[in-house]
Amino acid sequence: MSDETAATTKGLPFRVVVLSGPSGSGKTTIVERLLGDERLPLRKSVSATTRPPRVGEMDGDNYYFLTAEEFERRRRQGEFVECAEVHGAGYWYGTLKSEVERAREEGRWAFLEIDVDGALEVMREHPEALTFFVTASSQEEYERRLRARGTESDEHIRRRLETARRELARAGHYRHRIVNDDLDRAVREITDILSRELER
Ligand code: 5GP
């Protein structure tokens, strides 16, 4: 029996939900809205990363912040569903199997906000996963939003834009592509798809 057909403790079929999109696509706000919607049985998977915490980020809340050695140890022990080096900045990110299992145990759906490399790995392991790729209205709009954040250096921005171009090219692997030119509409589109899945 595959992961997806086993029922959760609440009788729902278990689902893995994956959302990706370039930074600046507005996905963070979408994710907050989705996780805040009590009608949806989503449980956020807290990723592990080797990147240092940003101001205000909490270990175990935003991420599990691990040293490169600890990350590698866990990777070798097979503790990750997927992991990837994101942005070519030398930092690793990964979804812990324990996070997916915790969602299932709680009777909820594991919600993964991860990059495209990771998402493709998850799709191989969980072919029934509900996958969403979010884009801003255009590459120009995306660049504007990224710069407006003002938290990153030019070099960092350049690398992120490069990653975004590569990610966009692979958006076709996702079941659903969501254009975030109107936040409410984008959230509603995803919510509707998830709600239909709940009723199945
Ligand atoms: P940030 O460093 O800005 O928090 O995240 C950078 C990127 O890492 C985001 O695009 C996010 O989707 C990706 N990411 C976060 N967690 C994971 C994970 O567990 N696995 C993978 N593959 N990517 C992740």
Residues 138-192 have pLDDT tens digits of 777 778 877 887 777 888 888 888 887 877 788 899 999 999 999 999 999 999 9
Give the distance (Å) from ligand 1 centre to CA of residue 35. 17
Going from the Cα of 87 to the center of ligand 1, the distance in angstroms, rounded, reads 9
- Evaluated on CA atoms 170, 181, 42, 6, the torsion sign reads negative
The ligand 1 atom at the shortest distance from the C-alpha of residue 91 is: 2
Q: Closest Cα to atom 2, ligand 1: which residue?
A: 51
Given ligand 1 and candidates 55, 86, 160, 161, which is best to mutate, with the most ligand atoms within 8 Å of its CB? 86
Confidence of residue 5 (pLDDT cuts 50, 70, 90): low
Q: Whose CA is nearest to atom 22 of ligand 1?
A: 118
User: Range of 47's domain?
Assistant: 3-199
CATH number for the domain spanning 97: value is 3.40.50.300
How many other CB atoms sit within 10 Å of the CB of residue 125? 14
Predicted TM-score of the model (pTM):
0.88
Q: Per DSSP, what are the bridge partners of residue 18?
A: 112, 131
Unique residue bearing structure tokens 């919607």: 37
Residue whose entry in the numeric block shows the structure tokens 């997927």: 82
* DSSP type of residue 13: B
21 within ligand 1 shell (Cβ under 6 A): no
CA 180 to chain centre: 16
Does residue 56 come out as left (phi exceeding 0), alpha (psi in the -120 to 50 range) or beta?
left
Sign of the CA dihedral running 119, 72, 102, 57: negative
Please state the domain count of the chain. 1
108-149 pLDDT, tens digit each? 999 999 999 999 999 999 999 999 999 986 777 778 877 887
Amino acid present at 41 = P
Nearest to 30 by CA among 176, 187, 179, 171: 187
Ligand 1 neighbourhood includes 24 CB (under 6 angstroms): no
Sorted by sequence, the CB contacts under 8 Å of residue 3 that are 6+ apart come out as: 14, 16, 104, 126, 128
| 167 Cβ closer than 6 Å to some ligand 1 atom | no
